[in-house]
């Protein structure tokens, strides 16, 4: 395959940065001595600061359940103007522990990420809320690299977000510790309270941008079906920042110019927009999770493994379809069944208990007494 000079330079640059990061001497120094009475510093590694709704909610989860006891610092935040090598070097140097998660970041076919850097293992490492995407075949040398990381003695906690991911990690990565399973950790987030507004019930619809624009005609037909059933349609952009701008373009491709549009950088406002719906349709996984936690029956239009696993776990595979499916509008029926309250409570309780176990484990390793 011919490689253009620009692509070749980019590839070399990425390799150099990764090597500099791996051997950055700053990262290998011990952490600074902690002042008595101060909280341990927890460097958080994930896809944060870019505006993807679900990933930003993960950071909110960690703030809610860990922020009282630990000082959280996002290690890969793109708002930090320094180079990646500088961020990782000083970030690891100043951390008492590393928290990696969540999301589909245990990718068994690509090393093009910063989630599993060697330098993290100079500190105790805690992995939480991760999933294993399965839509491509694993690449042996990538799996071997993940196995080396997950089996390292610095790894003190591993939490996966569904039994399928737990099973894959246990069978393929020889993890250093037992893998704990919990629902997606966003289920533990305290969502902003909502009240359904007066007037016709709201049908929310959320789509997403991709490199190749999708044919959204069946999603549009689903919205038309909602209008026929007496709903008023609300288009919701599940993103902030740069991702929001791209998803807004995809949302506009739905048409429906006379319907309500929610597009904001306020995560709580996005969540409230979902919670006010009587029914919802989302191409994004965390739209499904948040809708579920509000009790809103949410039609998932991207039948990925993580979405299928989640809906199977709550007994609602009746809400799963593909945006390409001509029968998609048929999933929206009159008096569509809401999510059972006992299901919501179970998801939250399990996720909160998992985070409490994670908090205790971090505290024990960093010799810090946790509150509560």
Rounded average pLDDT over 362-372? 82
Average pLDDT over residues 282-292: 98
Tens digits of per-residue pLDDT, 297-312? 999 999 999 999 999 9
List Cβ neighbours of 347 (8 Å cut-off, separation of 6 or more): 183, 187, 292, 293, 314
Instruction: Output the pTM of the full model.
Output: 0.89
181 CB-near residues (< 8 Å, 6+ apart): 159, 160, 161, 162, 163, 165, 166
284-288: long-range contacts, CB 8 A cutoff, minimum separation 24: 284/53, 284/54, 284/206, 284/208, 284/238, 285/54, 285/184, 285/310, 286/53, 286/54, 286/57, 286/184, 286/186, 286/238, 287/53, 287/206, 287/236, 287/238
* pLDDT tier at 15, thresholds 50, 70, 90: very low
Neighbours of 11 (CB within 10 A): 11
Residue 219: Cβ within 10 Å count: 24
- Domains, the chain, ranges and CATH? 35-181+350-366 (3.40.50), 202-339 (3.40.50.2000)
Please state the rounded mean pLDDT for residues 168-184.
Answer: 98
Categorize the per-residue pLDDT at 11 as very low, low, confident or very high, splitting at 50, 70 and 90: very low
Residues 42-73 pLDDT 10s: 999 998 988 999 999 999 999 999 999 999 99
pLDDT band at 7 (very low <50, low <70, confident <90, very high): very low
Q: Find the helix or strand (DSSP H, E) in which 127 lies.
A: strand 125-130
CA triple 265-68-127, angle to 5 deg: 75
Q: Flag whether pLDDT at 2 surpasses 60.
A: no
**Which helix (DSSP H) or strand (DSSP E) does residue 235 occupy?**
strand 232-236
Residue with tokens 């008492």: 96
Average pLDDT over residues 165-169: 97
Judge whether residue 208 has pLDDT over 60. Answer: yes
Task: Give the pLDDT band (50/70/90) at residue 19.
Answer: very low
Q: Could you tell me what percent of the chain has a pLDDT over 90?
A: 79
d(CA 135, CA 304): 8
Say whether pLDDT at 240 is over 50.
yes
pLDDT of residue 344: 98
Omega within 30 of 0 (cis) for the link into 102: yes
């Amino acid at each position: 395959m011919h490689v253009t000079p620009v692509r070749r330079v980019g590839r070399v640059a990425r390799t150099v940065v990764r090597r500099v990061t791996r051997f950055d001497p700053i990262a290998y120094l011990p952490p600074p001595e902690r002042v008595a009475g101060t909280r341990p510093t927890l460097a958080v590694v994930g896809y944060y600061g870019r505006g993807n709704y679900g990933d930003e909610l993960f950071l909110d989860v960690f703030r809610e359940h860990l922020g009282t006891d630990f000082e959280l610092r996002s290690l890969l935040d793109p708002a930090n103007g320094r180079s990646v090598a500088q961020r990782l070097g000083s970030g690891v140097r100043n951390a008492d522990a590393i928290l990696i998660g969540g999301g589909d970041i245990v990718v068994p076919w690509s090393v093009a990420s910063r989630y599993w850097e060697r330098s993290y293992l100079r500190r105790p490492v805690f992995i939480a809320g991760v999933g294993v995407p399965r839509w491509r075949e694993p690449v042996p040398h990538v799996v071997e690299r993940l196995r080396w990381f997950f089996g390292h003695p610095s790894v003190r906690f591993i939490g996966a977000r569904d039994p399928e991911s737990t099973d894959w990690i246990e069978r393929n990565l020889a993890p250093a510790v037992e893998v704990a399973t919990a629902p997606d950790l966003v289920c533990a987030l305290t969502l902003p309270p909502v009240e359904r507004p007066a007037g016709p019930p709201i049908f929310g619809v959320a789509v997403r941008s991709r490199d190749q624009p999708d044919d959204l005609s069946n999603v549009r037909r689903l919205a038309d079906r909602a209008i026929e059933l007496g709903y008023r349609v609300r288009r919701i952009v599940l993103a902030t920042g740069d991702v929001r701008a791209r998803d807004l373009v995809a949302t506009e491709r739905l048409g429906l110019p006379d319907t309500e549009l929610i597009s904001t950088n306020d995560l709580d406002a996005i969540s409230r927009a979902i919670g006010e719906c009587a029914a919802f349709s989302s191409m994004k996984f965390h739209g499904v999770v948040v809708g579920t936690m509000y009790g809103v029956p949410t039609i998932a239009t991207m039948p990925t493994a993580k979405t299928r696993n989640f809906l199977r776990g709550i007994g609602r595979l009746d809400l799963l379809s593909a945006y390409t499916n001509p029968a998609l509008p048929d999933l929206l029926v009159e008096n569509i069944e809401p999510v059972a309250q006992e299901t919501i409570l179970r998801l939250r309780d399990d996720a909160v208990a998992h985070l409490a176990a994670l908090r205790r484990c971090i505290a024990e390793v960093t010799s810090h007494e946790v509150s509560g």
